Amino acid sequence: MIVSLLVYNQSSQALKSEIHRANDTMLRQVRYTIDTQIDLMKRLNMEITWNTKLQDLMYSSKSAGDAQFTAYQLVKELRMYQTSYASIDEFYVTWDQEAAVIRPGNVRDLETAFNTIHNTGVMSYEQWMDTIHHSANNRFLLLPHLDSAKPQTGIAYLIHLPKDLNGKETGTVVVIADIGRFQKAIESISGFSGGQVLILNEENEVLLSNLPVSINQDNLLKHLPDDGGSDVMNMPIRDGDSELFYIQSAVSKLKYVLVIPSSIYWEKAEYVRRFTYISLFISLLGAAVLTWFFMRRNYSPIQQLVQLLTDKNSHEERTDWNELSFIQRSISNTKSEKDKIALQFQIHQNVLRSNMLNRLLKGKMDTLIPYEEAFKSFDMKLLSDDFAVILFVVENGESLSANLPGIDINEKHKLIQFIISNVVEELADHYHHVGYAAEVDDMMVCLVNGGESESSDLKADLEAIASEAQRFLGSYQMDLTLSIGGIHSSLTGIAEAYREAVDAMAYKMVLGKREIITYDEIRRDTTDNQQFGYYYPLQVEQQIINLIKVGDIEQASKFINDVTDRNFNQPIISLTLARCLVFNLVGTMVKAINELGDGDSSILGDNPLWMDTIIACDTLLEMKHELQTLLNKVCAFAAIKLESNVSHERAESLRDLVTKVTTHIEEQYSNSNLSVNLIGEHFDLKGSYLSKLFKNQTGEGVLDYINKYRIEQAKRMMGSKQDSISDIAKLVGYNEAATFIRVFKKYEGITPGKFKEMN
């Protein structure tokens, strides 16, 4: 089939090339014949355009008589052109200045010329005028022609003469050749090819066709370029059931187009097509026979296998008839079911193993099934009778979960457990021990069974395992606190090892997070009666309260740090005593606030959860941080309170001083020696400082107040006594009447005499 298609394709290409060559030759023949006529039309048009008489007539300023004589001479020369160009059926020049047409042998007005040359009933006079004046220059178009044979139409070539010096239109040269002169050339090729021949202008408008232009051919013509300029035969364009060939004119912008029906075009290729069909039919028939043979030979085993799988999976309904696809799907489903069962079994194994370890760590000994048998059933080997427990607590679980987007919270938790389990079990194996990890009470627990080694070696190995696990997991941004219990023999000692590890983990409150805590660090000898910690005497508490009351945060912090250091830097303090110490320090701050006289203040009301926040802390370091934050706020509150009290007392003192000064002035205003310095000496203050304090409180200086009070007293005296101005001046403390008059006018705007006259 492929060979047949290749042969058909090559044969078609060869035939198509021959057809293109034949059509190209015919189109070139048409082009040669018509281009000869077109060249004569263009040559005549050019000779007329450059005729000296025509140039003289159009572009010289002559009188009417001279212009008519020149036109007469031009008519005679046009008659000579008519003899020289016998194949040109009509030519004339429009004379726009005189609204006339110049023809060989006569000059006529425009309308008479139209009736003589073009009035066949197809075009009106107005249409002819519009065509003459507004058509593009160097344009080929169709014009009716009375002297032509049917259909009385000619191909016209128009050239507009250049405008005169005033920019006015001068005229148009029109050369017309009868369509019949072109019909003979296109009929010869159309009769040979059975197609349609068209002559197109540069806008792809049909000037001449041997057949009416159909709609399908109009669609073909749209694919032609607007201008050519090439003398080479173009490739054909196909649209529907027609084939189009075109070639550009050698002497003009005309195009010669040949449209051939596809049935005629492909008639010569019909034999090859039939031969190809027969070859394809034979190929298909042979393929069918071979297919039937091989299916009969090879399909029976597949059918039996499908039947077997269908009987086995009778609940599964077949949705397609592709047997191989059905077999593949059945095998895939079986494999998937097997994987699911294996995965489910593994999950159940892990759950049962975790539950067994959980019970063992909690000391719940199962009497029905010995733990030795349980270890064997879970493929957990035991190397010795020495056991120890390592606890892991992830301190940054929330930040780790945030770094794993797109995963369910439970899956994130399982992933973290999986990583820790694999790392610690691998490390235990590296030190020739075995480790089994499980989750118990939100902590990861690793039960370590020691190898054949001394207890001291196992203890060192446990610390090394914990240290390497913390370092390795820390490189993956996992912050861990680890605790290690003691080493115990036999399975019953596992619960004790777990309890010791839990007790050691509780001491992260004292020792801090991200540490490795061993039970040996926190264990006390019961015979040791030494009391550790809790140094916080009453006198130290009173000193801290006094420092808080004055807002001295630096000294208060120093005292609190000294108390905590003396308690926590000794051998391990009891957790209960540590909590009591922190609560007592908090109580000290509350006492200080109450002694400030504002026990129900907003500083306590706005922070009701201080105690809860401190209790919720996991370590003493976090508690100390919260205590420091609380101390900063309490000291800041105390400082503001103290500053407020001092400012209030100072304001009261200044108001009392101002009252005393004004009373003293009112008592001594008649003393002519009364001054700011004298008043300052009376109150044991500098006069300038006293005046500044007085002005800050009252808005005016002491001297201004003295003068104003004296003037007020003088005004009162002038209204009730008949004393002279000089006498009144002395009574209010002025020795000179001129000084009194000047001061009175400064504050009242008028002299004392005027004031006395007014009152």
**Could you tell me if residue 201 is inside a domain?**
yes
Helices 538-549 and 553-568 sit at what angle, rounded to 10 degrees? 150
Question: How many Å apart are CA 649 and CA 642, to the nearest integer?
Answer: 11
State the burial class of residue 359 (Cβ atoms within 10 Å of its Cβ: 0-12, 13-18, 19+).
Answer: middle
The whole-chain average pLDDT of the chain stands at 79
Q: Do 544 and 522 fall within a single domain?
A: no
- Residue 527: the pLDDT is 42
CATH number at residue 181: 3.30.450.220
Question: What is the rounded CA–CA span in Å between residue 744 and residue 759?
Answer: 15
Helix (H) or strand (E) holding 247: strand 242-248
Can you give the residue range of the structural domain that contains 181? 1-261
Q: How many whole angstroms separate alpha carbon 634 and alpha carbon 593?
A: 7
Q: On the CB side of 142, how many CA atoms lie within 13 Å of its CA?
A: 17
In a domain, 268, yes or no: no
Report pLDDT for 647: 65
* Residues 624 and 683 both lie in one domain: no
Task: Tell me how long the chain is.
Answer: 759
The answer as to whether 308 is a domain residue is no
In a domain, residue 324? The reply is: no
Question: Domain check: are 391 and 497 in the same one?
Answer: yes
Say which CATH number the domain at 473 has. 3.30.70.270
Q: Which two tokens stand for residue 353?
A: 């193993």
Do residues 490 and 638 both lie within one domain? no
Listed residues 507, 527, 547: the one ending a domain: 527
Task: Clarify whether residues 503 and 611 are in a common domain.
Answer: no
Residues facing 174 on adjacent strands: 92, 158
pLDDT of residue 234: 47
What's the sign of the alpha-carbon dihedral 508, 509, 511, 514? positive
Tell me the pTM. Answer: 0.40
Residue 202 DSSP code:
T
Report the distance separating Cα 276 and Cα 6, nearest Å: 10
In the chain, which residues have pLDDT < 70?
A: 188-194, 213-241, 263-269, 312-320, 365-369, 401, 406, 453-456, 523-534, 569-575, 596-611, 615-616, 618, 642, 644-649, 651, 699
CA separation for the pair 654, 646 (Å, rounded): 12
Phi and psi at 606, nearest 5°, equal -80, -15
Per the domain annotation, does 603 fall within a domain?
A: yes
Helix (H, G, I), strand (E, B) or coil at 107: strand
Contact 631, 589 (CB under 8 A): yes
Is the same domain home to 502 and 582? no
What would the pLDDT profile of 726-750 be if each residue is shown by its tens digit? 888 888 888 888 888 898 888 888 8
Structure-derived torsion over alpha carbons of residues 544, 546, 551, 555, reported in degrees to the nearest 10: -40
Residues 246 and 361 in one domain: no
Q: Encoding tokens for residue 680?
A: 């300052």
Has residue 54 been placed in a domain? yes
Domain total in the chain:
4
Task: Tell me the pLDDT tens digit for each residue of 275-304.
Answer: 788 888 888 898 889 888 887 777 777 777
Answer left, alpha or beta for residue 105, where phi above 0 means left and psi between -120 and 50 means alpha.
left
Question: Quick one: 133 and 19 in the same domain?
Answer: yes
Kindly state whether residues 134 and 40 are assigned to the same domain.
yes
Task: Write down the number of H helices and E strands in the chain.
Answer: 29, 17
Residue 228 lies in a domain: yes
End position of a domain, from candidates 527, 551, 575: 527
pLDDT of residue 231: 44
In a domain, 274, yes or no: no
Strands (E), 152-191: 153-160, 172-178
Same domain for 518 and 588, yes or no, is no
Query: According to the model, what pLDDT value does residue 92 have?
Result: 92
Same domain, 575 and 676: no
225 and 192, same structural domain? yes
Determine whether 544 is exposed, middle or buried from the number of CB atoms within 10 Å of its CB (0-12, 13-18, 19+). buried
Quote the CA–CA distance of 51 and 49 in Å, as a whole number: 6
- Check: CB of residue 421 under 8 Å from CB of residue 505: no
Beta bridge partners of 144: 153
pLDDT tens digit sequence for 203-252: 777 887 777 766 555 665 666 665 544 444 444 555 556 777 788 888 88
- How far is residue 324's CA from residue 680's CA, in Å, rounded to a whole number? 120
pLDDT at 443: 84
At 574-596, the pLDDT tens digits run 667 777 777 788 788 778 777 76
Q: What is the pLDDT of residue 525?
A: 44
Last residue of one domain, picked from the residues 205, 227, 261 = 261
